[in-house]
Amino acid sequence: MSSPNNPNETTYISMSPAALAARGTDASLVGAHCQYPPCNQLDFLPFKCQSCSQTYCSDHRTEDGHDCSQKGAWATRRRLAEQSKASLGGHKPVRDRDVLYAKPCAEGTCKTTIGTSLVPGVHCNACRRDYCLKHRLEEDHDCKSKPPIGARASALAAQQAAITTKATSALERLKLWGASKKEQYKDSRAAKAAGPSGLNAKGQTKLVAVNTLKKTAKGDAKIPPEKRVYLYVEAENETAKAKIPKGEFFFSQDWVVGRMLDSAAASLQVQNINNRSDKEEDKLRVFHVEGGRILDFGEKLGTALVSGNTVVLLRGVGAPEDLIKV
Protein backbone atom coordinates (compact mmCIF):
# COMPACT_ATOMS: atom_id res chain seq x y z
CA MET A 1 0.00 0.00 0.00
CA SER A 2 1.31 3.45 -0.90
CA SER A 3 2.28 5.86 1.82
CA PRO A 4 -0.08 8.82 2.09
CA ASN A 5 2.98 11.00 2.71
CA ASN A 6 4.23 10.47 -0.87
CA PRO A 7 2.58 13.27 -2.93
CA ASN A 8 3.17 11.38 -6.18
CA GLU A 9 1.11 8.31 -5.24
CA THR A 10 -2.23 9.50 -3.74
CA THR A 11 -4.64 12.38 -4.10
CA TYR A 12 -4.10 13.23 -0.44
CA ILE A 13 -1.16 13.62 1.94
CA SER A 14 -0.95 13.38 5.69
CA MET A 15 -0.36 16.78 7.29
CA SER A 16 2.55 16.67 9.75
CA PRO A 17 2.71 18.80 12.88
CA ALA A 18 5.23 21.03 11.10
CA ALA A 19 2.75 21.60 8.25
CA LEU A 20 -0.01 22.44 10.70
CA ALA A 21 2.30 24.78 12.60
CA ALA A 22 3.05 26.58 9.32
CA ARG A 23 -0.69 27.26 9.05
CA GLY A 24 -0.75 28.71 12.55
CA THR A 25 -2.22 25.60 14.21
CA ASP A 26 -0.73 23.76 17.16
CA ALA A 27 -1.48 20.20 16.05
CA SER A 28 -0.26 18.72 19.33
CA LEU A 29 -3.09 20.52 21.12
CA VAL A 30 -6.04 20.96 18.82
CA GLY A 31 -5.33 19.26 15.43
CA ALA A 32 -7.56 20.51 12.56
CA HIS A 33 -11.24 20.28 11.68
CA CYS A 34 -12.36 18.28 8.65
CA GLN A 35 -13.54 20.78 6.02
CA TYR A 36 -16.18 18.45 4.59
CA PRO A 37 -19.34 20.39 5.74
CA PRO A 38 -21.40 17.42 6.98
CA CYS A 39 -18.45 16.23 9.09
CA ASN A 40 -16.38 19.09 10.62
CA GLN A 41 -14.73 16.49 12.86
CA LEU A 42 -11.61 17.47 14.79
CA ASP A 43 -8.72 15.28 13.63
CA PHE A 44 -5.28 15.35 15.23
CA LEU A 45 -3.69 13.84 12.08
CA PRO A 46 -5.65 15.41 9.21
CA PHE A 47 -5.05 14.98 5.49
CA LYS A 48 -4.67 17.56 2.72
CA CYS A 49 -6.36 16.98 -0.64
CA GLN A 50 -3.87 17.65 -3.49
CA SER A 51 -6.65 18.65 -5.87
CA CYS A 52 -8.61 21.25 -3.84
CA SER A 53 -5.96 21.88 -1.10
CA GLN A 54 -8.56 21.54 1.70
CA THR A 55 -8.05 19.62 4.98
CA TYR A 56 -10.03 16.47 5.82
CA CYS A 57 -10.24 13.69 8.34
CA SER A 58 -9.23 10.12 7.50
CA ASP A 59 -12.80 9.22 6.51
CA HIS A 60 -13.11 12.01 3.96
CA ARG A 61 -9.55 12.31 2.71
CA THR A 62 -10.24 10.91 -0.80
CA GLU A 63 -11.73 13.01 -3.63
CA ASP A 64 -14.86 10.84 -3.65
CA GLY A 65 -15.06 10.95 0.16
CA HIS A 66 -15.51 14.73 0.26
CA ASP A 67 -17.09 15.31 -3.18
CA CYS A 68 -13.98 17.23 -4.28
CA SER A 69 -14.75 20.43 -6.21
CA GLN A 70 -11.50 20.00 -8.18
CA LYS A 71 -11.77 16.27 -8.72
CA GLY A 72 -9.14 14.96 -11.13
CA ALA A 73 -6.90 18.05 -10.92
CA TRP A 74 -4.09 16.18 -9.17
CA ALA A 75 -4.26 13.28 -11.64
CA THR A 76 -4.10 15.69 -14.59
CA ARG A 77 -1.05 17.47 -13.20
CA ARG A 78 0.68 14.17 -12.55
CA ARG A 79 -0.04 12.88 -16.07
CA LEU A 80 1.31 16.04 -17.70
CA ALA A 81 4.42 15.93 -15.55
CA GLU A 82 5.08 12.31 -16.51
CA GLN A 83 4.60 13.08 -20.22
CA SER A 84 6.96 16.03 -20.03
CA LYS A 85 9.54 13.95 -18.19
CA ALA A 86 9.35 11.17 -20.79
CA SER A 87 9.67 13.56 -23.74
CA LEU A 88 12.82 15.07 -22.23
CA GLY A 89 14.44 11.71 -21.55
CA GLY A 90 13.97 11.92 -17.81
CA HIS A 91 15.41 15.42 -17.47
CA LYS A 92 13.76 18.27 -15.64
CA PRO A 93 11.45 20.27 -17.95
CA VAL A 94 12.91 23.65 -18.90
CA ARG A 95 11.67 26.66 -20.77
CA ASP A 96 12.43 26.87 -24.51
CA ARG A 97 14.81 29.77 -24.06
CA ASP A 98 16.83 27.75 -21.52
CA VAL A 99 17.40 24.78 -23.85
CA LEU A 100 20.91 24.51 -25.30
CA TYR A 101 21.14 23.74 -29.02
CA ALA A 102 24.62 22.75 -30.22
CA LYS A 103 25.41 24.24 -33.62
CA PRO A 104 28.32 25.91 -35.43
CA CYS A 105 29.06 29.61 -35.05
CA ALA A 106 27.25 31.57 -37.80
CA GLU A 107 30.51 33.24 -38.86
CA GLY A 108 31.40 31.34 -42.03
CA THR A 109 35.11 30.93 -41.32
CA CYS A 110 34.68 29.87 -37.67
CA LYS A 111 34.72 26.18 -36.69
CA THR A 112 33.57 26.70 -33.09
CA THR A 113 30.54 24.73 -31.89
CA ILE A 114 28.29 26.92 -29.73
CA GLY A 115 25.21 26.29 -27.63
CA THR A 116 26.91 23.87 -25.23
CA SER A 117 27.26 24.17 -21.48
CA LEU A 118 30.93 25.13 -21.91
CA VAL A 119 30.67 27.34 -25.01
CA PRO A 120 27.48 29.42 -24.94
CA GLY A 121 26.27 31.23 -28.04
CA VAL A 122 25.63 34.97 -28.31
CA HIS A 123 22.59 36.06 -30.34
CA CYS A 124 22.95 39.10 -32.60
CA ASN A 125 19.68 41.02 -32.71
CA ALA A 126 20.68 42.79 -35.93
CA CYS A 127 21.21 39.81 -38.26
CA ARG A 128 19.39 37.35 -35.96
CA ARG A 129 22.17 34.77 -35.90
CA ASP A 130 24.14 33.11 -33.10
CA TYR A 131 27.90 33.49 -32.74
CA CYS A 132 30.74 32.39 -30.51
CA LEU A 133 32.29 34.86 -28.07
CA LYS A 134 35.06 35.74 -30.54
CA HIS A 135 32.57 36.81 -33.23
CA ARG A 136 29.81 38.22 -31.00
CA LEU A 137 30.35 41.87 -31.98
CA GLU A 138 28.76 43.15 -35.22
CA GLU A 139 32.10 44.24 -36.69
CA ASP A 140 33.57 40.81 -35.97
CA HIS A 141 31.02 38.93 -38.10
CA ASP A 142 30.45 41.56 -40.83
CA CYS A 143 26.89 42.01 -39.65
CA LYS A 144 25.96 44.75 -42.14
CA SER A 145 26.47 42.43 -45.12
CA LYS A 146 24.17 39.73 -43.72
CA PRO A 147 20.40 39.95 -44.34
CA PRO A 148 18.50 39.36 -41.09
CA ILE A 149 17.02 35.87 -40.83
CA GLY A 150 13.27 36.08 -41.30
CA ALA A 151 13.40 39.57 -42.81
CA ARG A 152 10.74 40.48 -45.33
CA ALA A 153 11.46 40.23 -49.04
CA SER A 154 11.26 44.00 -49.52
CA ALA A 155 13.76 44.60 -46.75
CA LEU A 156 16.08 41.99 -48.20
CA ALA A 157 15.81 43.56 -51.65
CA ALA A 158 16.59 46.99 -50.25
CA GLN A 159 19.58 45.67 -48.35
CA GLN A 160 20.86 43.81 -51.40
CA ALA A 161 20.49 46.94 -53.52
CA ALA A 162 22.52 48.87 -50.96
CA ILE A 163 25.25 46.21 -51.04
CA THR A 164 25.34 46.27 -54.85
CA THR A 165 25.53 50.07 -54.89
CA LYS A 166 28.34 49.99 -52.36
CA ALA A 167 30.26 47.41 -54.41
CA THR A 168 29.78 49.38 -57.64
CA SER A 169 30.94 52.58 -55.96
CA ALA A 170 34.01 50.80 -54.61
CA LEU A 171 34.82 49.42 -58.04
CA GLU A 172 34.55 52.85 -59.65
CA ARG A 173 36.97 54.31 -57.10
CA LEU A 174 39.40 51.48 -57.78
CA LYS A 175 39.17 52.05 -61.53
CA LEU A 176 40.10 55.70 -61.09
CA TRP A 177 43.02 54.66 -58.93
CA GLY A 178 43.93 52.08 -61.57
CA ALA A 179 43.95 54.69 -64.34
CA SER A 180 46.46 56.75 -62.37
CA LYS A 181 48.58 53.69 -61.65
CA LYS A 182 48.49 52.70 -65.32
CA GLU A 183 50.09 55.98 -66.34
CA GLN A 184 52.81 55.52 -63.75
CA TYR A 185 53.34 51.97 -64.99
CA LYS A 186 53.73 53.17 -68.59
CA ASP A 187 56.33 55.71 -67.49
CA SER A 188 58.35 53.08 -65.65
CA ARG A 189 58.20 50.66 -68.63
CA ALA A 190 59.40 53.38 -70.99
CA ALA A 191 62.26 54.30 -68.66
CA LYS A 192 63.26 50.65 -68.28
CA ALA A 193 63.30 50.16 -72.05
CA ALA A 194 65.64 53.16 -72.38
CA GLY A 195 68.21 51.48 -70.14
CA PRO A 196 69.88 52.65 -66.92
CA SER A 197 70.62 56.07 -68.36
CA GLY A 198 66.95 56.56 -69.18
CA LEU A 199 65.67 55.90 -65.70
CA ASN A 200 64.03 59.01 -64.36
CA ALA A 201 63.13 59.67 -60.73
CA LYS A 202 59.85 57.76 -61.03
CA GLY A 203 61.56 54.74 -62.53
CA GLN A 204 64.22 54.69 -59.88
CA THR A 205 61.60 54.99 -57.18
CA LYS A 206 59.72 52.04 -58.68
CA LEU A 207 62.84 49.82 -58.67
CA VAL A 208 63.65 50.76 -55.08
CA ALA A 209 60.06 50.01 -54.04
CA VAL A 210 60.12 46.56 -55.67
CA ASN A 211 63.47 45.71 -54.05
CA THR A 212 62.10 46.77 -50.67
CA LEU A 213 58.95 44.75 -51.30
CA LYS A 214 61.03 41.63 -51.96
CA LYS A 215 62.65 42.01 -48.55
CA THR A 216 59.44 42.50 -46.58
CA ALA A 217 56.89 40.33 -48.42
CA LYS A 218 55.63 37.15 -46.78
CA GLY A 219 54.66 33.91 -48.46
CA ASP A 220 55.29 30.21 -48.86
CA ALA A 221 59.04 29.65 -48.43
CA LYS A 222 58.79 26.58 -50.68
CA ILE A 223 58.19 28.78 -53.74
CA PRO A 224 61.52 29.18 -55.60
CA PRO A 225 62.75 32.82 -55.65
CA GLU A 226 62.76 32.90 -59.46
CA LYS A 227 59.08 31.87 -59.50
CA ARG A 228 57.85 34.53 -57.07
CA VAL A 229 55.56 37.45 -57.87
CA TYR A 230 55.72 40.15 -55.19
CA LEU A 231 52.49 42.07 -54.68
CA TYR A 232 50.83 44.68 -52.51
CA VAL A 233 47.49 43.24 -51.40
CA GLU A 234 44.64 45.25 -49.89
CA ALA A 235 41.06 44.52 -48.81
CA GLU A 236 38.44 47.05 -49.94
CA ASN A 237 37.04 48.58 -46.77
CA GLU A 238 33.32 48.69 -47.62
CA THR A 239 32.71 45.25 -49.13
CA ALA A 240 35.52 43.00 -47.88
CA LYS A 241 36.17 43.97 -44.29
CA ALA A 242 39.42 42.50 -43.03
CA LYS A 243 41.11 42.16 -39.66
CA ILE A 244 44.34 43.14 -41.46
CA PRO A 245 43.54 45.79 -44.13
CA LYS A 246 46.67 45.40 -46.24
CA GLY A 247 49.84 43.40 -46.58
CA GLU A 248 52.86 42.59 -48.74
CA PHE A 249 53.04 39.03 -50.05
CA PHE A 250 54.64 36.85 -52.71
CA PHE A 251 52.97 34.09 -54.67
CA SER A 252 54.00 31.64 -57.36
CA GLN A 253 53.88 32.71 -61.01
CA ASP A 254 52.31 29.31 -61.74
CA TRP A 255 49.34 29.89 -59.43
CA VAL A 256 45.98 30.92 -60.79
CA VAL A 257 44.21 34.00 -59.45
CA GLY A 258 41.71 31.89 -57.50
CA ARG A 259 44.46 30.22 -55.48
CA MET A 260 46.15 33.55 -54.83
CA LEU A 261 42.82 34.98 -53.65
CA ASP A 262 42.33 32.15 -51.15
CA SER A 263 45.83 32.64 -49.77
CA ALA A 264 45.52 36.44 -49.58
CA ALA A 265 42.08 36.28 -47.94
CA ALA A 266 43.43 33.94 -45.27
CA SER A 267 46.43 36.20 -44.63
CA LEU A 268 44.30 39.34 -44.32
CA GLN A 269 41.56 37.45 -42.42
CA VAL A 270 38.82 38.30 -44.88
CA GLN A 271 35.71 36.11 -44.93
CA ASN A 272 35.91 33.94 -48.04
CA ILE A 273 32.91 31.79 -48.95
CA ASN A 274 33.59 31.55 -52.69
CA ASN A 275 33.50 27.75 -52.52
CA ARG A 276 30.28 27.66 -50.52
CA SER A 277 28.06 30.20 -52.26
CA ASP A 278 26.80 30.46 -55.83
CA LYS A 279 25.65 34.05 -55.37
CA GLU A 280 27.87 36.59 -57.07
CA GLU A 281 27.19 39.16 -54.33
CA ASP A 282 28.90 36.81 -51.84
CA LYS A 283 32.01 36.18 -53.92
CA LEU A 284 35.36 37.85 -53.42
CA ARG A 285 37.04 39.13 -56.57
CA VAL A 286 40.53 40.40 -57.31
CA PHE A 287 40.95 43.85 -58.84
CA HIS A 288 44.28 44.55 -60.55
CA VAL A 289 44.91 48.24 -59.90
CA GLU A 290 47.57 48.82 -62.58
CA GLY A 291 45.55 46.86 -65.13
CA GLY A 292 42.30 48.55 -64.13
CA ARG A 293 40.26 45.34 -64.27
CA ILE A 294 38.83 42.41 -62.37
CA LEU A 295 40.97 39.31 -62.86
CA ASP A 296 39.40 35.99 -63.78
CA PHE A 297 39.87 33.20 -61.27
CA GLY A 298 41.61 31.02 -63.86
CA GLU A 299 44.26 33.50 -65.03
CA LYS A 300 47.91 32.69 -64.31
CA LEU A 301 49.67 35.17 -62.04
CA GLY A 302 52.79 35.12 -64.22
CA THR A 303 50.70 36.33 -67.15
CA ALA A 304 48.41 38.83 -65.44
CA LEU A 305 50.72 40.42 -62.86
CA VAL A 306 54.29 41.59 -62.30
CA SER A 307 56.17 42.25 -59.09
CA GLY A 308 55.28 45.59 -57.55
CA ASN A 309 51.65 45.49 -58.67
CA THR A 310 48.76 46.14 -56.33
CA VAL A 311 45.67 43.94 -56.11
CA VAL A 312 42.53 44.64 -54.09
CA LEU A 313 40.06 42.09 -52.73
CA LEU A 314 36.42 43.23 -52.96
CA ARG A 315 33.04 41.57 -52.90
CA GLY A 316 29.84 41.68 -54.95
CA VAL A 317 31.12 43.41 -58.11
CA GLY A 318 30.32 40.62 -60.55
CA ALA A 319 32.36 38.41 -62.86
CA PRO A 320 34.95 39.99 -65.22
CA GLU A 321 32.81 39.38 -68.31
CA ASP A 322 30.02 41.44 -66.76
CA LEU A 323 32.18 44.51 -66.22
CA ILE A 324 33.48 47.23 -68.55
CA LYS A 325 37.26 47.34 -68.54
CA VAL A 326 39.06 50.65 -68.14
DSSP 8-state class, residue 316: S
Q: Given CA atoms 312, 318, 322, 324 in this order, what sign does their dihedral have?
A: negative
Query: What pLDDT is recorded for position 96?
Result: 41
CB 255 within 8 A of CB 298: no
pLDDT at 229: 95
Torsion, CA 258, CA 263, CA 264, CA 266, rounded to 10:
120
CA 271 vs. chain centroid, Å, equals 12
Among 208, 233, 235, 242, smallest CA distance to 301 is for: 233
The reported pTM is 0.45
Angle at 226 between CA 222 and CA 231, to 5 degrees: 80
How many whole angstroms from its chain centre is CA 246?
A: 25
Nearest CA to 242 among 319, 158, 140? 140
How high is the pLDDT of residue 179?
57
- pLDDT for 232 equals 93
Classified as helix, coil or strand, 107 is coil
Beta strand ranges found along the chain (DSSP E): 12-14, 32-33, 42-43, 47-49, 55-56, 103-104, 113-114, 122-124, 129-131, 228-235, 246-252, 284-288, 293-295, 309-315
Report the phi/psi class of residue 90: left, alpha or beta, with left for phi > 0 and alpha for psi in -120 to 50. left
Cα separation of the two ends of the chain: 93
Please choose, from the candidates 41, 46, 38, the residue with its C-alpha nearest in 3D space to the C-alpha of residue 66.
38
Interatomic CA distance for residues 30 and 44, integer angstroms? 7
Mean pLDDT by 10 residues, the chain (326 residues): 51 59 51 87 85 88 89 83 57 42 85 82 88 90 82 56 57 59 52 50 72 93 95 83 89 95 93 85 87 89 92 80 46
Length of the chain: 326
Amino acid letter for position 189: R
The Cα 30–Cα 28 span in angstroms is 6
Cα(281)–Cα(147) distance, rounded to whole angstroms?
A: 12
Q: What is the pLDDT of residue 88?
A: 43
Phi-psi region of 303 (alpha: psi -120 to 50; beta: other; left: phi over 0): alpha
* β-pair type (309-315, 228-235): parallel
Measure Cα distances from 114 to 99, 120, 132, 147 in Å.
Answer: 13, 5, 6, 21
CA dihedral 55, 57, 58, 61 (to 10 degrees): -40
Backbone angles phi, psi at 286, to 5 degrees: -115, 120
CA gap 103, 109 in Å, rounded:
14
